Amino acid sequence: MSDYKPPLEDIRLVLEEICDIQEVCGFPDFDHVDMDTIDGVLDELGRFVAEVVAPTNRIGDEQGCSVTDGVVTVPEEFHRAWDQYVASGWGAISQDPEYGGGGFPGSIQTVLTELLATASRSWSMGPMLTVGAIDAIHNFADEGQKETYMPKMVTAEWSGTMNLTEPQAGSDVGALTTRAVPQDDGTYRIFGTKIFITFGEHELAGNIIQLVLARTPESPPGTRGISLFIVPKYLVADDGSLGERNDYTCISLEHKLGLHASPTCVLSYGESGDGAVGYLIGEEHQGMRYMFKMMNNARLGVGVEGLAVTERALQQAAEFALERRQGTAVGAPRGEQSVIVEHADVRRMLLTMRAYTDAMRCLLYLNSSALDTAGHHPDPEISQAASERAELLTPISKAWCTDIGVEMASIGIQVHGGYGYIEETGAAQHYRDARISPIYEGTNGIQAIDLVGRKLSLRAGGVMGDLLDEIAALDAALAVAGEEFDSIRSNLADGLAALREATTWIISNGVDDPNAALAAATPYLKMFGQVVGGWLLARLALGARRRLDEGVGNTGHLEGKIVAARFYAEQLLPIARAQLGAVTAGAEDLFAISADGFSV
């Protein structure tokens, strides 16, 4: 497996051209951050992930994790990396300074998430879940709870999780049965079983702060009756010291296709009979609203996983293609084996991976920048518009990026040929690790349903309309950018026209026939992602051309961005038009076969 090289030049370009990170740093809450500071942080962060985190990736896949008598064991290298992560303070980078955080924009947290996940997917799951738990506590817990838990979570001395799924419930969170019994002292006792709890038990951190969804007595059915509780692994005394172990146990670990060293736990609460001590967050029966805050953070983070696996698979595939000799390329001397990167089809695969990597990074960083603007811009109208934009983009960020990540990891194996299918090269690990991401945090089908069912109707369709108009407005810049942008312009216009037609069809037909909208949801989301990706790559290419004209930056790197954008427009963006038939096909065929007809 090749060594990981943090793509800092790519990251800086997207931060500046797509996120407009300089404008974000001008918000009052970020007046202590400037581009020189960010540049220094990126350099040091790149060094840290390459030297400290990346070596855990292959080790974790080979050694995995195990549980004995409720104690989870992960590779020793995970402990060393975690300790250095705590010592370096990276977990605090974008957290609230009031609780020991660095107060950087959330966009920089997204960069951190990408670099950690690309370096070692299994290891990175712990920090990513902790960030989500911090977000929920910060937004909804009372001040005493914040003071008790956040400082140690911000430093990563304590980790955090979220506990939603139960054996009988799955994605239907409203079917959960975990009980929260109120006590005279204001606490609750938690009883129930949770499954698929990532990093639900381990010895890396001094404490684990579980955020648990449960029902209080006589709560209404469904999601309306769910409350959210803090359930620490070790109870915390008034002076901040750790007390007795709480009454829950890791009874097993899931044996997974990938992410072998990320402990995915089955947790049993109240197994000893007393119940685990829990502390209500906010108001009773508001648990789903609070958890959605954490889940939206996690959905963006999971979307970053699609980018991360593609970047890592691309780096490895490109290195292999530069070394592996097979066949004779067109124009090469007869009888001489060529490195496979000289073959047109290998170049097609590598450029596909490169273009999608750039498109995903642009989308995810734009989404994160919208959240920064929503949370910190001093103008409430601009803040609101950014919040709506982030709401619209989140299902695309999560679902489109993770679907593409699986596809690109598969292409990475294909570049290796037969060597990709054997474990020694490490190419297969990326594919195995990637496959869970389209399932995490609401399957991608659920994301598509959320898009057509809730997000298209935001501000009576105005949020979507604003985005479509903004994409259309780029045509003027493309028109004067020169011949090298002609195909980008024409293909983006065609993709946008198809997306407008599909959007109109869903809005027109979805009310009268909800199944028609549901049947259209997944192909519509794919179309949406493909068009937004093309739009953002066009913007990135225009920025690259401007820099080239100004004589600023790495010429080869910038020219490559224009080529990648043109390749995407000509060979990948037309997929959007191809999805239109699937969007408008309706649901009749889906229900033309009886349920029994699917069985053998």
pLDDT per residue as tens, the chain (600 positions): 568 999 999 999 999 999 999 999 999 999 999 999 999 999 999 999 999 999 999 999 999 999 999 999 999 999 999 999 999 999 999 999 999 999 999 999 999 999 999 999 999 999 999 999 999 999 999 999 999 999 999 999 999 999 989 987 766 777 889 999 999 999 999 999 999 999 999 999 999 999 999 999 999 988 899 999 999 999 999 999 999 999 999 999 999 999 999 999 999 999 878 999 999 999 999 998 887 766 777 899 999 999 999 999 999 999 999 999 999 999 999 889 999 999 999 999 999 999 999 999 999 999 999 999 999 999 999 999 999 999 999 999 999 999 999 999 999 999 999 999 999 999 999 999 999 999 998 899 999 999 999 999 999 999 999 999 999 999 999 999 999 999 999 999 999 999 999 999 999 998 889 999 999 999 999 999 999 999 999 999 999 999 999 999 999 999 999 999 999 999 999 999 999 999 999 999 999 999 999 987
DSSP string, 512-569: T-HHHHHHHHHHHHHHHHHHHHHHHHHHHHHHHHHHHHHT-S-HHHHHHHHHHHHHII
Cα 298–196–149 angle (5° rounding)? 55
DSSP string, 287-343: HHHHHHHHHHHHHHHHHHHHHHHHHHHHHHHHHHHHH-B-S--TTSPTT-PPBGGGS
Q: What is the three-class DSSP state of 442?
A: coil
Residue 161 pLDDT = 95
Spatial separation of the C-alpha atoms in residues 577 and 498, rounded to whole Å: 5
Q: Would you call 282 exposed, middle or buried from its count of C-beta atoms within 10 A (0-12, 13-18, 19+)?
A: middle
Catalytic residues: 441
Residue ranges of domains in the chain: 55-88+120-285, 443-600
Say if residues 402 and 309 touch (Cβ distance below 8 Å): no
DSSP string, 115-144: HHHHH-HHHHHHHHHHHHHHHHHHHHS-HH
Instruction: Identify which of 213, 235, 94, 212 has the alpha carbon closest to the alpha carbon of residue 158.
Output: 235
Residue 1 pLDDT = 58
Torsion, Cα of 414, 415, 421, 426 (10° steps): -130
Say if residues 162 and 211 touch (Cβ distance below 8 Å): yes
B/e letters for 210-225, b = 16+ CB within 10 Å, e = fewer, are bbbbbbbeebeeebeb
**CA 332 from centroid of its chain's CA atoms:** 43
Q: What is the three-class DSSP state of 227?
A: strand
Which fold, 55-88+120-285?
Answer: Butyryl-CoA Dehydrogenase, subunit A; domain 2 (2.40.110)
Cα 72–265–189 angle (5° rounding)? 100
Q: What is the three-class DSSP state of 194?
A: strand
| Predicted TM-score of the model (pTM) | 0.96
Q: What is the three-class DSSP state of 173?
A: helix
**CA 369 from centroid of its chain's CA atoms:** 14
Residue 416 has φ and ψ, to the nearest 5°, of -75, -15
Residues paired with residue 268 on neighbouring β-strands, in sequence order? 193, 249
Residue 294 pLDDT = 67
Residue 170 pLDDT = 64
pLDDT tens track for 80-90? 999 999 999 99
Instruction: Identify which of 319, 298, 469 has the alpha carbon closest to the alpha carbon of residue 394.
Output: 298
Q: How many CB atoms lie within 10 A of CB 497?
A: 15
Distances (CA, A) of 506 to 316, 485, 502: 41, 32, 6
Q: Report the DSSP pairing between strands 158-163 and 179-182.
A: unpaired
